Structure 1
Amino acid sequence: MLYKIAWFIGVALVFVTIRNTNPEREIHVDGDVAKEWSHVADVFRKNLEENWERSGAAFVVYHKGQKVIDIWGGYADRESQRKWTKNTLSVAFSCSKAIGAIVIAKLVDEGRMEYDDLVTKYWPEFGKNGKGNVTIRWLITHKAGLAYTDHPIEWEDAIDHKKIDKILENQKPNWPPGTEIGYHAVTHGWLVDAIVRRVDHKKRTVGQYFREEIGQKFGWFFFFDFQDLSNFKIKKLKR
C-alpha cells in the first residue's frame, strides 16, 4: 500500500514539474484590457507561463455591451516559434454547431423551411432505413439517431458532399429517431450542411451561406471546412 502511495506521489510530482517547466524564452501576450479587468489578463498570462495552455490562445470578454478584454498570446506554432496574433484562426470544434443552428434559423426566418418539416421534404433519399419520420428539429437537436456511422469515413469521403450524403442516406439509425437524445458529434455538421444545400435557393454549403449572408456583414471569419477556407484564402491573395 505504501509503495502505491509513493508511486502516485512521484507521478504527481513529475506531472507538476512538467506543467511548470516552460521551455520558451519569453511569454508573448498582446491586446487590450480595461484597467479594472487586468487581473483576468494576469491569469491568462499565468496559464501560458505555467504551461497549462500548451500552445497559444485568444480571449475576448464583453461586459454590459462593452468589450473589456481582447487579448491573445503564446504560439500558433511552437516548433517554428510563430506567435499567436490578433488574426490567428483557431479550431472551434463543437462551437460550430451553434453557428450551424444560426444558419438554419435564418433559413426558417426566410420561410424556406419549418423546424417541424420532415427532412425527406427536401432530401427524399434520407428517409431510407427507418429515418422517414426525422424532422429538421430532431436533426439539429441530436434526436435523429445518427450519432455515428457504421460506414468508415475516409478523407476522400469527408471532403466530398455527394459521398457523405450517400453514407448518411444508407445509415440505419443508432436508435429509433425521436426517442432519445444522443450527441451527434461526428455527423451533425454534415447533416446540417446537407439540409442547407437543399433549402438555400443558391444551393450553398453551410459555410458559404454563413460567410455570405452573416459573416461578411459583421466582419466574422468562421470556416466550416477546408474547401471553404481555401476559397477564402485564394480570394484574399488575389486582392
Structure 2
Amino acid sequence: MDIHGHTAPGFDAVAEVFGRNFKEHEEAGAAFAAYRDGELIVDLWGGTADPDSGRPYTTDTLQLVFSGAKGLTAACVLLLVERGLLDLDTPAAHYWPEFATAGKAGITVAEIMSHQARLPGIQAPFSEAEFLDPRHMAGLLAAQAPSDDPRAGFMYHALTYGWLAGELIHRVDGRSVGALFADEFAGPLGLDVWLGLPDAEHHRAATTLAGPGVLAPPPDDDPLRVLTRNPLAAPDAPALWNSAAFRRAEVPAVGAHVTARSMAGFYACLARGGELDGVRVMKEATVELGRRELRCGTEPLWGSPMAYGAGFELQTELGLFGPAPDAFGHAGAWGSRHGAWPGSRVGFSYAMNRTRAVWPDRRPLDLLAALHDALN
C-alpha cells in the first residue's frame, strides 16, 4: 500500500502507524492530518476512495464523517451565542415557540446541546425525503413529547441533536447550518468542509463502506431501538450514505463531507482560541464556553463514560481523543475522529471510508497516541 503526503521532522512514527492501519485493521481509504500552532505537521492519505472504479483516495477526497458534523453545528450555535442571538441557559421555546408544546417549554438550549433534551429519536413516521428535510424533521420534534424512559435524560441524540440545533440557528439567524458554516468558518478559513455538498463536488466524495457488524440493529423489541430510530444504521443504509440526495442534503448531526486536512484546520483554529493564519472567526472566550462541561456520566446506549460541553464531546477516561486530558472535539460513527488539544495548540482529523463496529477502534487511537508521543 502506497502512503502519500508528508510529516514534519520527528513525526515519522505517525506515518508508520498510518501505514500499519492498512495492513492490520482493514483500512480501505483514509487520511490523517494534524496542525500544531497553525503549522501542518502531518498530512497523510492512501488507499482507495471507490472500490468499484479503483479511484484512489487523495488529499482532496471528501469523506462523509457522520457525527463529525456535530462539532461544526456546535461552532455555529456558539457563534450565535457570542453575537447575543442565543443564550445557552434560555429555554429553546423562547426562540422557537412551537417547541413549547407537549411539555418541552422548560428545555434549554444547553440541554439540547448536551444531549439532555429527552428527544433521542423521532417517534412519528417519516419518509426518506422527509428525513433529508431538516425543517420537516424539526417540526416533528416540535410536536413530540419528551421521552419518559429514565435513560433518555442522558442519551446520545444521534440525529435529533442536529435538527434541534439547526432549527434554533434558523430561527434566530435565518440561515441554515450549512450556509452559516460556509459563510462564517469555511469561507474565511479556506476549509474544504461541507454541510450540504454541492453537486459539482460529488465526484470527489469517497464511497463509504459498511464493515462487519456496522448494520446489525438491535432486536425490534429493544427499547433503545424504539427510542433512537436511525435509518443510517438500517441494513440498506450504505445506499443512502452514498446517494446524491444525501450528499446534497443538510443533515446537521451526521451529514458533513470533509477533507482531513481541512477538518484538522478547523480544530487547529479552535485549539488556538478561534484564530488561524491571522483570521479570527470566534472569540477565545466562546471556545472556552463550548468546552465547559455541561454533563458527564454513563451514556446508556453504549454503557460508556461520556462528557459533553455545548455540542462538543469532552475527554473522559474512555480516551476517545487520544492521551491529551484537555482534548475536545467530536467522533464520527464507526471510526472517524476530529478534535483539538488546546494545551499543545493541536488540531487533528482522521477520516476513512471503511466503517468498523469495533471498540476500541485502534485506527484513530494508535494514530493519536503516535502523534502525542511525537509532540512530547
> For this structure pair, what is the TM-score category when the shorter chain's length is used for normalisation?
0.7 to 0.9
Spell out, residue by residue over 1:4-25, the C-alpha distance to the aligned partner (whole angstroms, 9 max, x if none): xxxxxxxxxxxxxxxxxxxxxx
Q: Are positions 1:230 and 2:198 aligned together? A: yes
Counterpart among 107, 110, 113 of residue 80 in structure 2: 107
| Secondary structure at the counterpart of residue 36 of structure 1 | coil
Question: Residue 233 of structure 1: CA displacement?
Answer: 4.0
Distance 2:170 2:199 in 1: 17
Distance 2:49 2:55 in 1: 6
What amino acid is aligned across from residue 61 of structure 2 in structure 1? Answer: T
1:129 corresponds to which residue? 102
What amino acid is aligned across from residue 59 of structure 1 in structure 2? Answer: F
1:33 corresponds to which residue? 7
Question: Residue 230 of structure 1: CA displacement?
Answer: 2.1
Distance 1:206 1:53 in 2: 34
What amino acid is aligned across from residue 153 of structure 2 in structure 1? Answer: E
1:68 corresponds to which residue? 41
**Structure 2: where are the runs of 5+ without partners?**
203-376
Does the 8 A contact of 2:32 with 2:43 survive in 1? yes
| Secondary structure at the counterpart of residue 129 of structure 1 | helix
1:180 corresponds to which residue? 153
2:17 corresponds to which residue? 43
**Number of residue-to-residue matches in the alignment:** 201
Does the 8 A contact of 1:28 with 1:83 survive in 2? no
Counterpart among 192, 207, 217 of residue 221 in structure 1: 192
Does the 8 A contact of 1:103 with 1:210 survive in 2? yes
Which has the larger helix fraction? 1
Distance 2:35 2:187 in 1: 21
TM-score, normalised with respect to structure 2: 0.50
TM-score, normalised with respect to structure 1: 0.77
Distance 1:111 1:232 in 2: 35
| Secondary structure at the counterpart of residue 4 of structure 2 | strand
Does the 8 A contact of 2:70 with 2:162 survive in 1? yes
1:209 corresponds to which residue? 180
Question: Residue 152 of structure 1: CA displacement?
Answer: 3.1
Distance 1:155 1:162 in 2: 14
Question: Residue 144 of structure 1: CA displacement?
Answer: 0.6
Of 63-72 and 124-133, deviating more is: 63-72
Distance 1:185 1:129 in 2: 21
Question: Residue 232 of structure 1: CA displacement?
Answer: 6.8
**Structure 1: where are the runs of 5+ without partners?**
1-26, 235-239
Question: Residue 57 of structure 1: CA displacement?
Answer: 0.6
| Secondary structure at the counterpart of residue 35 of structure 1 | coil
Question: Residue 64 of structure 1: CA displacement?
Answer: 5.2
Spell out, residue by residue over 1:35-54, the C-alpha distance to the aligned partner (whole angstroms, 9 max, x if none): 3211220121121134x143
What amino acid is aligned across from residue 76 of structure 1 in structure 2? Answer: A
Question: Residue 128 of structure 1: CA displacement?
Answer: 1.2
Counterpart among 146, 162, 167 of residue 194 in structure 1: 167
2:27 corresponds to which residue? 54
Give aligned-pair identity as a percent: 34
Distance 1:63 1:108 in 2: 28
Q: How does 1:76-91 map to 2 (within 5 A)?
A: 76-91=49-64
| Secondary structure at the counterpart of residue 107 of structure 1 | helix
Distance 2:47 2:136 in 1: 39
Deviating beyond 3 angstroms after TM superposition, the runs of 4 or more aligned structure 1 residues are: 63-66, 231-234
| Secondary structure at the counterpart of residue 127 of structure 1 | helix
